[in-house]
Structure 1
């Protein structure tokens, strides 16, 4: 249920965000261009990362704790480190 609420809020934020206004130079005059696609991709990656980090953090810390977002960010950094570590070890495994 929490994930449905978050998904609905995320969709609303994406719809409200203007990725290419006509007064922004290099954005294509109101059309979504390559730069906007990159922004959208990074936004989705960060949202997925923080959804996973929030779920892991919620196992150990109450969601209404004052330091929940700090611990969630720390868990997200640990997840990125783990993904990079697995990727580097995977490349070592493939060479042998």
Structure 2
């Protein structure tokens, strides 16, 4: 009986701790590389089925996708800008 009570208490404590975790926005992750690295490690340690339940992991994925898109657009604009300035490109 004691084992059941202890197990139930540990289970409940786990839910409370997970529920009290600070939730970071997509913008928080985009602005802070250290935060992204920290949460990447945390999200890599949890089961795949649990990742979709963690709002921080979801926001981390969205922030990374946004950063990739923004960087791609920046590079594309730079390349197009170079072409307009008379730089020749290979054909």
Report the TM-score range of the alignment, normalised by the length of the smaller protein.
0.3 to 0.5
Q: Higher relative contact order by CA 8 Å / sep ≥ 6: 1 or 2?
A: 2
TM-score relative to the length of structure 2:
0.35
Higher helix share: 2
**TM-score, normalising length: structure 1:** 0.33
Greater radius of gyration (CA):
2
